[in-house]
Structure 1
Amino acid sequence: MTALPLRVLPTGPLQQTLRTRREGAVLTVELNTPEQGNTVTDALLDDLLAVLQDQDPAVRVLVLTGSGADFCLGGDRGEFTRHLAHDPTGSGIRMSGTKARRVCDALTSNPAVTIARVHGKAIGAGLALALACDLRVGAEDATFRLPELALGLPTAWGGLLPRLISEVGAARVRELVLTGRAFTAAEAQSLSILQKVVPEHELDTAVADWAKPIVRRPPAALRVTKTLLNSLSGASRLADVSVLDAELMAAVVTESRHTRETG
């Protein structure tokens, strides 16, 4: 098959927070709001969904990365505040939570093999986006954190918790969630959050080393194998209550606000 030339896909009204480029069967999707640390907003989730839903079937590998100093600094807390100001019942937060789950599910169930290319900080929702990918490579100086509890929030975003427990194990996840401490790329690799750690300048090479053999695999066999892997991983969970993530997040945030207002 003749390789397609490198081309940058147009960034239209549905892609204001992303930058995408296509090289052969490899599609790179870059979170592109570096001045905000690539924080996750409703607009970014909408753009990710638009790209994932309009994905060319010829794409065999999808690389998720971030521009600027960090992969993703997590959810936009200011947007949470604005959602509550607009509707104190939490409907906006429920809507955001539903989008988050759809995006993470779209990455996990994507017919292409998804690769997270992580540098700088991956915090909260940023870690969830990376974890939704099949393969994850991180720079040696990358750091990770789950700060939700310290912020008065449950760890309920995009199906993060069941995925994390499935990959890492309940005991280690419990410690990371309850303490909210930062951890290094080396520890992330030991926990299977990352499968590979390299110097930052070697990230692109590491991604290419994974992508090159994958794009040569027969597409039908690749899709079926990925579906089997996802099915077996899902079957290993006793229960996946992440369908309730949006409701749990909205309930906790609205209750916390009510408690503060009533004293």
Structure 2
Amino acid sequence: MRQQHQLQPFESYLESGLQLHTEEDGAVLWIVFNRPDKMNAVNWKLSTALQSICVAFPVLGFGPGPLWVVVFAGNGRNFSAGLDFTGSDKEVTDVPGPQGLTQATIACVHGPLTGLGLATALSCDVRIASPTFRCSIGANRLGLSGGDIGLSYLLRSLCGSSNANVLMMTHRWMDAGKALRTGLVSEVVEESEAEGEEKGVLREAGRVMARDMLQLTRPGLLYTKQLVLMTESNAILQAAIIAEDAVQMATAGEPEAQAYGAAFRGKITKGRPPPKL
């Protein structure tokens, strides 16, 4: 069983790249990725902070706290581009995120999502996207397996095996339109021409969804979430993550994968975006 603790003051998470605030008299907590200069890529510090926050949620869910709903979002041009390959030498060894939380969870996603950023969004109960949303697998661009951080389970359960296999077995991207058609997201907000305005529309859609969830009684919503967790079989997700870790370790030891990954990392660290595939 995970060790549980209380949340720290919200300001203490700013240095780690997270903005937290509550709405609806504390019933809704917003967790916003705030490393826009790094496309909200997750480094060790952010990962550790997010994990500590999520560990506190079970206490708040059925305890005296008022928290019902958690909304994830991102500042800047996207939600999260996955792992940060620049900066700290410390590796992200644990997968933080909303899976297993007792609260209802919403992800407001925009821009390109890969790897850990995509897994975080797919672990939420509801995903609302902007027209700029698109997603792809990050690990296979590093010469590794396309199944990573639970994506082999999450993608197949959400958008079907064929669509999931295309993402995992190629470098293709899925855009917002196809994500809506396949059920990967539940809603795509209207297009907005003004920069920053689209994100405002997206977050307002997240607020509306959270308010709709608050129309249930608190026990009704939280026990519904318990049923969701049981029927989605969180144990299978955890087993998939363990299997994926083993496969990635084996793949990473292959010379071809090492050379492929080194070339891709070199493009990132030199500040050049990878070629569009």
User: Which TM-score band applies after superposition, normalised by the shorter structure?
Assistant: 0.7 to 0.9
Paired position in structure 2 for 1:112: 103
Question: What one-letter code is carried by the residue in structure 1 that aligns with 2:125?
Answer: D
How many Å apart are 1:146 and its aligned residue?
A: 1.5
2:140–2:168 Cα contact (<8 Å) kept? yes
Paired position in structure 1 for 2:159: 168
Q: Map 1:168-207 onto structure 2 (within 5 A).
A: 168-199=159-190, 200=198, 201-207=200-206
Paired position in structure 2 for 1:43: 45
* Number of residue pairs aligned between Structure 1 and Structure 2: 236
> Structure 1's 256 and 134: CA in aligned 2 closer, same or farther, altered over 3 A?
farther
Q: Map 1:154-165 onto structure 2 (within 5 A).
A: 154-165=145-156
TM-score normalized with structure 1 length: 0.80
2-structure distance, mates of 1:34, 1:61? 24
1-structure distance, mates of 2:220, 2:34? 33
Question: What one-letter code is carried by the residue in structure 2 that aligns with 1:123?
Answer: T
Paired position in structure 2 for 1:5: none
3-state secondary structure, aligned to 1:155: coil
Q: Report runs of 4+ in structure 1 exceeding 6 Å deviation.
A: 235-239
Larger deviation, residues 112-121 vs 222-231: 222-231
- Show CA shifts across 1:223-245 (max 9, x none): 22112122212289799432233
How many Å apart are 1:119 and its aligned residue?
A: 1.2
> Structure 1's 77 and 62: CA in aligned 2 closer, same or farther, altered over 3 A?
same
Paired position in structure 2 for 1:251: 250
> Structure 1's 212 and 77: CA in aligned 2 closer, same or farther, altered over 3 A?
same
3-state secondary structure, aligned to 1:20: strand
Counterpart check, 1:131 vs 2:139:
no
Highest RCO, 1 vs 2 (Cα 8 Å, sep ≥ 6): 1
How many Å apart are 1:259 and its aligned residue?
A: 6.4
Q: Map 1:71-86 onto structure 2 (within 5 A).
A: 71-78=79-86, 82=89
Give the gaps of 5 or more residues in structure 1. 1-8, 84-91
2:82–2:138 Cα contact (<8 Å) kept? no
How many Å apart are 1:71 and its aligned residue?
A: 0.9
TM-score normalized with structure 2 length: 0.76
1:162–1:240 Cα contact (<8 Å) kept? no
Paired position in structure 1 for 2:215: 216
- Show CA shifts across 1:139-198 (max 9, x none): 012221124223202234331210111111111111121122122111111121111001
Give the gaps of 5 or more residues in structure 2. 1-8, 191-197, 260-277
3-state secondary structure, aligned to 2:19: strand
> Structure 1's 235 and 61: CA in aligned 2 closer, same or farther, altered over 3 A?
closer
How many Å apart are 1:75 and its aligned residue?
A: 1.5
Paired position in structure 1 for 2:134: 143
> Structure 1's 39 and 33: CA in aligned 2 closer, same or farther, altered over 3 A?
same
How many Å apart are 1:13 and its aligned residue?
A: 6.3
3-state secondary structure, aligned to 2:233: helix
1-structure distance, mates of 2:139, 2:49? 24
